[in-house]
């Protein structure tokens, strides 16, 4: 039965029956430990690998001795504010030895700023928080395969994969001979390689393999007789066309496999190789330290062939490359180490060159070392690697999951296109290591996973999971914990965590459900070696937050786990009535809540900081984040949950963050739901909600948008941030301060000015009026134009913060930027029709209608239902967890308690019924509901209860979009697509068929012409509408002209004829470029000379409307021509190159 358990600061009644022997580990230790290893050991390892660097004569030697990291220049907050990287200076102690003179110079060299990891496991790069995702790659080592060829014969193969260097592949053919390929070249008999490494005679080779017949077969195919011949034969394969000599051949083979600089198995590779082949030596002694042998040895090659022979005899099985024993994890530390190695290798070349060029006497380490390549390699990794990702900060769970993500993509990994089903599939070895449920839907399914709750990474990068050891002498399950990797686990029999035990820890039943080598078996209790630590061991954190997971279909659980990460932090948080007991750990480890560092008493509390007087007398001040914008535009706001004078213990939550409630993760709200249909408003998973949720701000969230405006130096002079903007009324400027920047607290709507800015314009031709004014007042007309930052379409809100950076104040800005202003605008978004909501079981839907409270169905006691869900969404989707949650939630609400039902160890049907009885509610969880409109009861009892509902980040305000006129694509002149480009709606071929079917000819015609790409027609139509005249006839669409040109470019003389067989002239409406083409001195063949007069159908008037002065183009005019898109009428945007850099939007249009 349930019993109360205090987790964090809240008491929950838990239904868990299994006593967990192991606490959950710190959930982001994978990131922190890996980075710490890099700082402590990884860096030293690389410097040790690359040192010493000698010049070509061997006279000068450069050694790297030691390194140190300094203090970061700015705090994390300052870095975020100023767009800086949170980094510390790396200094390396370098020694330069001149062997001729015996002179030794030592120096400390600055090697660039090295990004530091924050205590939350993230990096701050250029002001943005980023996460380095761990990568799943094939482990170096030897792999054996068995395939069947076209004739049905079995072909066996072995591949030796190093960390870096050439691959060595062995394969058999149907005559049972063994061949070898070196680095993917043509195959040669394997005995050639053996001869080349020193086993020169047939007798010696046969002796190595106990006179095996298959080796005899291979020798018959081998045309070489001595070591020298074998070397030459290999050299011919590797370097075809070069004259072979024995010496060069020997050097080549040595460097390919036996030179540590060219070939590296890595510690992992050596460990896997020796474990697989079961031979000899792992380490050798170097300078008094035991080090792994990281190159190949002759023994490795012989044992690899011996194992292949055993495989052919059927003594051993081929390898499964999807087994987690053969895939390892590259975490932050190792990825950084590889990147650093690349940088140092580039630097090494420069050092060697400088050693030869410069004077040996005057040379110093500082002069030799160029840190540019090292700094560039690190910058490139953090800035643009596939594995360095912009942190998902929608809510604390999204942050936590992002840091625990495992990706098979990225450099050296798989690609989406080439990954087949096998790689993506759930594998038995994932148990307890990688979550079988949490993975994205879509092209990345199975390639991106999430680390299981208890999993950890060992020194070789393999994922381990903990088990309780079974003492076989006494038959008792002990509390001794062993961590096993996937290939070690296959040797043992492992019982499930839910196997019943008695008081002493003995198995109650004689036969136990267990796992062995990936199979589920029932074994006698005395054969069990280990037992699972916890039922939630096999799932990830997000999955472990789904109550009654055991009653949900896996596909829906996957959606539930993924959608929890998209829940928007709400204004008023509320922990779930029905949780799983993991909530407080998820909140704590994600870093959303503030934890007390030491025990003590609260001295002072304000909304912005908490001061704790520790037991040792010192004072700790905790600063809280107030209304900060997250990476995703959601709001990060921390509030204190302790009072003055309260005792706190170390590690206790003292302030709540976004989506947390008293230190527990709180992504949504507990809502009274009923499963029933209502007037068709639940059709296709739509959701009907009560107006109460809007009025009482139940699902209201705050969103903060950031707008940026910079004043640059242009060719015509510097831009200026000012309140003095041409042609703008005082009314528009009312909220700007004297600098021209909006005041904090102002309410802004689309089109309002946030920052006033003017840009110098070139000398313009003045109109007669301006000339007159100038003659009278002698004042120079202002040659500036308005380029102010305005609120974009569809955005609005209240200005909450303004930050100004300028060169004068000593802020570091991008080149050419003198001043930078950032404006933060916050919106309160209430829940509205079109918003997406979901439960935790993959039950998602869109709000279809908001009903007045009085019209909602109500309970017998008069309580109106808050949300009506469609009962048809349950049976076919098989996510019954939502029903059980609803029942238990109702009981918990009535009893005024919070409950925890851990995954795979939750409340049973009987226990839920008992709780409902205890609360005085119907046992079946159903009740009669009454129609709010008529007061009549519905014709049957309806399932009612409390469900935890989330509001997801897919909000209608971000998606709704409308356009009348806007930008057009350059080539086709059709409107762009998408909200970001302020585009139009695509009218595709099927929509065209629909209009054709209705015979709506005129509607169709205008959709295909004036509403799209009839350039002249659309301008005239707009004019006609504005002036209230009749809309003119459509003209020729631009895409038709493009088609004609395309055909002409193929050399076809295509003409357009009218009904009278007269040729129709298709003119370009390229306002000015056309008439000045001859001025360029170019002769364009095959183009009819058009007189400038016939511009458009109504000659001169057309000229008047377009306020462009004709530009005379000469050859260098293009250098001068600078066009700013804000100034031009969209319809006449001159053709300019497509630039997709500013915020990823297409400025000029897109093809």
User: 701-829 — its CATH code?
Assistant: 2.40.50.150
Predicted confidence (pLDDT) at residue 860 exceeds the cutoff of 90: yes
Is a pLDDT exceeding 50 seen at residue 588? yes
* Segment 279-302 mean pLDDT: 78
**Dihedral (C-alpha) 161, 163, 166, 169: value to the nearest 10 degrees?**
0
When mean pLDDT is compared over 45-54, 191-200, 648-657, the highest value belongs to: 648-657
What mean pLDDT is predicted for residues 39-43?
94
Contacts of 796 (CB under 8 A, 6+ apart): 747, 748, 749, 750, 825, 827
Cα 116 to Cα 1093: distance, rounded to the nearest angstrom: 67
Spatial distance between the Cα atoms of 522 and 526, rounded to a whole number of angstroms? 12
Q: At 358, is the pLDDT very low, low, confident or very high (cuts 50, 70, 90)?
A: confident
Helix 298-312 to helix 266-277 angle, to the nearest 10 degrees?
A: 50
Q: Residue 845 contacts by C-beta under 8 Å, 6 or more apart in sequence?
A: 685, 686, 687, 836, 837, 838, 869, 870, 873
Tens digit of pLDDT for each residue in 892-919?
A: 999 999 999 999 999 999 999 999 999 9
Chain-centroid distance of CA 1091 in Å reads: 57
pLDDT of residue 852: 98
Q: What is the mean pLDDT of residues 407-417?
A: 93
Q: How far apart are CA 1095 and CA 1070, in angstroms?
A: 10
Please give the pLDDT value at position 644.
96
Kindly indicate the confidence band of residue 6, based on its pLDDT and cuts at 50, 70 and 90: confident
Question: Which residue in 232, 231, 229, 255 sits closest to 243, CA to CA?
Answer: 232
CA dist 671 and 868 (Å) reads 10
- Specify the pLDDT at position 1081: 40
Predicted local confidence at residue 1000, as pLDDT: 96
Q: What's the distance, CA 346 to chain centroid?
A: 29
pLDDT score at 200: 84
- pLDDT at position 771: 75
pLDDT in the model for residue 278: 84
CATH domain 140-321 topology: 3.90.1110
Q: Which residues contact 456 (CB under 8 A, 6 or more apart)?
A: 25, 29, 30, 463, 464, 465, 466, 483
From 3.90.1170.50, 3.90.1100.10, 3.40.50.620, 3.40.50.850, which CATH number describes the 29-137+332-390 domain? 3.90.1100.10
Backbone torsions φ then ψ of 913, nearest 5 degrees:
-60, -45
Q: How far apart are CA 200 and CA 197, in angstroms?
A: 8
Q: Are 967 and 975 in contact (CB under 8 A)?
A: yes
Question: Which comes out higher in pLDDT, residue 642 or 782?
Answer: 642
Question: What gap in Å lies between CA 746 and CA 361, rounded to an integer?
Answer: 68
* pLDDT(1107) > 60: no
Least confident of 115-129, 205-219, 786-800: 205-219
- Joined tokens for residue 411: 């450099």
What CATH code is assigned to 475-496+507-531?
Answer: 2.30.150.10
Q: At 271, which helix (H) or strand (E)? A: helix 266-277
CB within 8 A of 323, min separation 6: which ones? Answer: 427, 429, 486, 487
pLDDT tens across 491-547, in order?
999 999 999 999 999 999 999 999 999 999 999 999 999 999 999 999 999 999 999
Across 199-213, 306-320, 599-613, 661-675, least confident range: 199-213
Chain mean pLDDT for the chain: 89
Please give the pLDDT value at position 486: 95
What pTM does this model have?
0.88
pLDDT at 708 over 90: yes
H helix count then E strand count, the chain? 30, 57
- Neighbouring CB atoms inside 10 A of 194's CB total 26
Percentage of the chain beyond pLDDT 70 is 91
pLDDT digits (tens, 9 = 90+) for 67-103: 999 999 999 999 999 899 999 999 999 999 988 888 8
Polymer length in residues for the chain: 1151
CB–CB of 438/558 below 8 Å?
yes
Kindly state the tokens that stand for 720: 């200026």
Residues 6+ apart with CB under 8 A from 700: 570, 571, 572, 828, 829, 830, 831
**pLDDT at position 1134, please?**
40
Q: What is the percent of the chain with per-residue pLDDT over 90, rounded to a whole number?
A: 74
Instruction: Give the mean model confidence (pLDDT) for residues 15-21.
Output: 91
Band the pLDDT of 51: cuts 50, 70, 90. confident
The closest alpha carbon to 805, from 814, 792, 794, belongs to 814
pLDDT top residue among 864 and 226 = 864
Please, which pLDDT band fits residue 778 given cuts at 50, 70 and 90?
low
Q: How many CA atoms lie within 13 A of 1123 on its CB side?
A: 18
Q: In the prediction, which pLDDT does 1126 show?
A: 39
Peptide bond connecting 52 to the previous residue in cis, omega within 30 degrees of 0: yes
User: Is the pLDDT at 719 greater than 90, yes or no?
Assistant: yes
* Residue 763: pLDDT band with limits 50, 70, 90: low
At residue 287 the predicted structure's pLDDT band, cuts being 50, 70 and 90, is low
100 or 552, higher pLDDT: 552
Which ranges constitute the DSSP H helices of 418-547?
Answer: 421-424, 486-489, 541-544
Q: Are 29-137+332-390 and 961-1144 equal in CATH topology?
A: no
pLDDT of residue 761: 82
The pLDDT assigned to 327 comes to 95
Q: Is 1074 helix (H, G, I), strand (E, B) or coil?
A: coil
C-alpha to C-alpha distances, 756 to 752, 817, 1055, nearest whole angstrom: 10, 16, 52
Phi and psi dihedrals of 269, rounded to 5?
A: -60, -45
Q: Is the predicted pLDDT of residue 584 greater than 70, yes or no? A: yes
782 has pLDDT over 90: no
- pLDDT at residue 773, rounded to an integer: 75
What Å distances lie between residue 190 and 159, 199, 654, 686, 903, CA to CA?
13, 12, 68, 67, 54
Dihedral sign (CA 185, 191, 195, 198)? positive
- C-alpha distances out from residue 331 to 37, 245, 415, Å: 10, 44, 19
Res 1097: pLDDT? 38
Domain boundaries, the chain: 29-137+332-390, 140-321, 475-496+507-531, 701-829, 961-1144
What is the pLDDT averaged over residues 592-600? 95
Q: For 968, which DSSP code?
A: B
- DSSP one-letter string for 740-777: SBBPTT-EE-TT-EEE-EEEE----PPPHHHHHHHHHH
Q: What single DSSP character describes residue 26?
A: P
Architecture of the domain made up of 961-1144: Alpha-Beta Complex (3.90)
The owner of tokens 């209201």 is 700
Measured from the Cβ of residue 619, the count of other Cβ atoms closer than 10 Å reads 11
- The more confidently predicted of residues 548 and 771 is 548
> Which of 50, 266, 304, 300 has the alpha carbon at shortest distance from 165?
266
* 885 vs 950: CA distance, rounded Å: 14
- Reading phi first (left if > 0) and then psi (alpha if -120 to 50, else beta), residue 68 is in beta
Q: 1042, exposed or middle or buried, with CB in 10 Å at 0-12, 13-18, 19+?
A: middle
Name the residue among 861, 863, 882 with its Cα closest to residue 871: 882
Residue 368 exposed, middle or buried by CB count within 10 Å (0-12, 13-18, 19+):
buried
List alpha helices for 940-1014, DSSP H: 956-959, 989-998, 1001-1008
Q: What is the pLDDT of residue 288?
A: 65
Q: Which pLDDT band, with edges at 50, 70 and 90, does 936 fall under?
A: very high
d(C-alpha 736, C-alpha 800), whole Å: 14
Angle between helix 29-37 and 332-357 (nearest 10): 20
Kindly list the distances between the CA atom of residue 824 and the CA atoms of 75, 745, 796, 802, 982, in Å, as whole numbers in the listed order.
22, 10, 11, 6, 22
Across the strands, what pairs with 155? Answer: 147
Q: Which of 141-145, 635-639, 963-967 has the lowest mean pLDDT?
A: 963-967
Name which of 611, 695, 677, 1113 is nearest 871 in CA terms.
677
CB neighbourhood size of 203 (10 A): 10
Average pLDDT score over residue span 1109-1133 = 41
Please tell me the distance from the alpha carbon of residue 479 to that of residue 531, in angstroms, as a whole number.
10
* Separation CA 457–CA 32 (nearest Å): 12
């Amino acid at each position: 039965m349930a019993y109360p358990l205090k987790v964090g600061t809240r008491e929950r009644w838990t239904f868990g029956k299994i006593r967990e022997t192991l606490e959950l580990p710190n959930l982001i230790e994978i990131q922190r430990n890996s980075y710490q290893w890099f700082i402590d050991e990884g860096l030293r390892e690389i410097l040790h690998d690359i040192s010493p660097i000698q010049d070509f004569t061997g006279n000068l030697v450069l050694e790297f001795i030691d390194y140190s990291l300094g203090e970061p220049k700015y705090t994390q907050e300052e870095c975020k504010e100023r767009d800086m990287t949170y980094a510390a200076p790396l200094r390396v102690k370098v020694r330069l030895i001149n062997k001729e003179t015996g002179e030794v110079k030592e120096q400390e060299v600055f090697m660039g700023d090295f990004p530091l990891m924050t205590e939350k496991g993230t990096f701050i790069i250029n002001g943005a928080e980023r996460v380095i995702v761990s990568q799943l790659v094939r482990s170096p080592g030897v792999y054996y395969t068995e395939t069947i060829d076209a004739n049905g014969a079995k072909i066996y193969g072995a591949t030796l994969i190093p960390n870096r260097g050439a691959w060595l592949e062995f394969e058999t053919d149907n005559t049972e001979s063994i061949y070898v390929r070196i680095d993917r070249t043509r195959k040669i008999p394997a005995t050639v390689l053996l001869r080349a490494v020193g086993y020169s005679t047939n007798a010696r080779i046969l002796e190595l393999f106990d006179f095996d017949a298959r080796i005899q077969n291979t020798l018959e195919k081998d045309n070489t007789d001595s070591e020298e011949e074998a070397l030459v034969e290999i050299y011919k394969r590797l370097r075809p066309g070069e004259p072979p000599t024995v010496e060069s051949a020997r050097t080549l083979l040595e460097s390919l496999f036996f030179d540590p600089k060219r070939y590296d198995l890595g510690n992992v590779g050596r460990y896997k190789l020796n474990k697989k082949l079961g031979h000899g030596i792992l380490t050798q002694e170097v300078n008094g330290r035991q080090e792994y042998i990281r190159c190949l040895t002759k023994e490795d090659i012989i044992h690899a062939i011996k194992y292949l022979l055993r495989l052919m005899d059927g003594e051993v099985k081929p390898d499964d490359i999807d087994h987690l024993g053969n895939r390892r994890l590259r975490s932050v530390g190792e990825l950084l180490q590889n990147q650093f190695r690349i940088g140092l290798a580039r630097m090494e070349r420069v050092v060697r060159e400088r050693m030869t060029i410069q004077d040996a006497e005057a040379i110093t380490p500082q002069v030799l070392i160029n840190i540019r390549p090292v700094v560039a390699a690190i910058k490139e990794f953090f800035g643009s690697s596939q594995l360095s990702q912009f942190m998902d900060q929608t809510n604390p769970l999204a942050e936590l999951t992002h840091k625990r993500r495992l990706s098979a993509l990225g450099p050296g990994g798989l690609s989406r296109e080439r990954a087949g089903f096998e790689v993506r599939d759930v594998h038995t070895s994932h148990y307890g290591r990688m979550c079988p449920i949490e993975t994205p839907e879509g092209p990345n399914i199975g390639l991106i996973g999430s680390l299981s709750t208890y999993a950890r990474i060992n020194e070789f990068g393999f994922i381990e999971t903990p088990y309780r050891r079974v003492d076989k002498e006494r038959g008792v399950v002990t509390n001794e914990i062993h961590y096993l990797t996937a290939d070690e686990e296959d040797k043992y029999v492992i019982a499930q965590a839910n196997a019943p035990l008695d008081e002493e820890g003995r198995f109650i039943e004689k036969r136990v459900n267990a796992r062995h080598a990936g199979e589920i078996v029932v074994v006698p209790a005395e054969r069990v070696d280990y037992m699972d630590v916890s039922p939630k061991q096999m799932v990830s954190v997000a999955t472990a937050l789904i109550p009654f997971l055991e009653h949900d279909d896996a596909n829906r659980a996957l959606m539930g786990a993924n959608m929890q990460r998209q829940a928007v932090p709400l204004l008023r948080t509320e922990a779930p009535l029905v949780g799983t007991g993991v909530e407080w750990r998820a909140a704590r480890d994600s870093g959303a809540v503030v934890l007390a560092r030491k025990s003590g008493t609260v001295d002072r509390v304000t909304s912005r900081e908490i001061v704790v007087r520790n037991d040792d007398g010192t004072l700790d001040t905790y600063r809280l984040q107030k209304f900060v914008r997250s990476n995703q535009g959601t709001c990060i706001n921390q509030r204190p949950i302790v009072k003055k004078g309260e005792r706190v213990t170390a590690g206790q939550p003292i302030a709540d963050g976004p989506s947390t409630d008293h230190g527990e993760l709180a992504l949504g709200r507990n809502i009274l739901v009923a499963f029933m249909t209502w007037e068709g408003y639940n059709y296709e998973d739509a959701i009907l909600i009560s107006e109460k949720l809007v009025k009482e701000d139940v699902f209201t969230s705050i969103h903060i948008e950031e707008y940026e405006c910079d004043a640059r130096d242009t060719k015509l002079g510097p831009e200026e941030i000012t309140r003095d903007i041409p042609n703008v009324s005082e009314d528009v400027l009312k909220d700007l301060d004297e600098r021209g920047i909006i005041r904090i607290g102002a309410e802004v709507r689309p089109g309002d000015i946030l920052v006033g800015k003017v840009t110098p314009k070139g000398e313009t031709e003045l109109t007669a009026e301006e000339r007159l004014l100038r003659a009278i007042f002698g004042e120079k007309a202002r040659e500036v134009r308005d380029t102010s930052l305005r609120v974009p379409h569809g955005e609005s809100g209240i200005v909450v913060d303004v930050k100004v950076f300028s060169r004068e104040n000593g802020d570091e800005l991008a080149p050419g930027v003198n001043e930078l202003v950032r404006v933060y605008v916050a919106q309160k978004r209430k829940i509205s029709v079109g918003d997406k909501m979901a439960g935790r079981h993959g039950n998602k839907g869109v709000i279809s209608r908001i009903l007045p409270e009085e019209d909602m169905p109500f309970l017998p006691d008069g309580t109106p239902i808050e949300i009506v869900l469609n009962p048809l969404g349950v049976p076919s989707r098989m996510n019954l967890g939502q029903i059980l949650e609803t029942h238990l939630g109702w009981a918990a609400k009535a009893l005024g308690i919070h409950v925890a039902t851990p995954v795979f160890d939750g409340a049973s049907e009987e226990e839920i019924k008992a709780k409902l009885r205890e609360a005085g509610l119907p046992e079946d969880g159903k009740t009669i509901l009454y129609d709010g409109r008529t007061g009549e009861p519905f014709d049957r009892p309806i399932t009612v209860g409390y469900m935890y509902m989330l509001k997801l980040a897919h909000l209608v305000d971000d998606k709704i979009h409308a356009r009348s006129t806007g930008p057009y694509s350059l080539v086709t002149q059709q409107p762009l697509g998408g909200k970001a480009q302020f585009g139009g709606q695509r009218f595709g071929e099927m929509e065209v068929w629909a209009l054709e079917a209705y015979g709506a000819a005129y509607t169709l015609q205008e959709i295909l012409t004036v509403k799209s790409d009839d350039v002249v027609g659309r301008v005239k139509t707009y004019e006609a509408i504005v002036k209230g005249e009749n809309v003119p006839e459509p003209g020729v669409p631009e895409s038709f002209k493009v088609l004609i040109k395309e055909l002409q470019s193929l050399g076809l003389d295509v003409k357009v004829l009218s009904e009278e067989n007269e040729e129709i002239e298709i003119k370009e409406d390229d306002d000015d470029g056309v008439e000045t083409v001859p001025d360029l001195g170019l002769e364009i063949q095959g183009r009819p000379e058009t007189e400038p007069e016939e511009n458009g159908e109504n000659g001169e008037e057309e000229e008047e409307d377009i306020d462009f002065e004709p530009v005379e183009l000469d050859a260098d005019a293009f250098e001068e021509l600078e066009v700013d898109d804000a100034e031009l009428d969209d319809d006449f945007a001159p053709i300019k190159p497509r630039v997709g850099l500013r915020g990823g939007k297409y400025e000029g249009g897109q093809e």
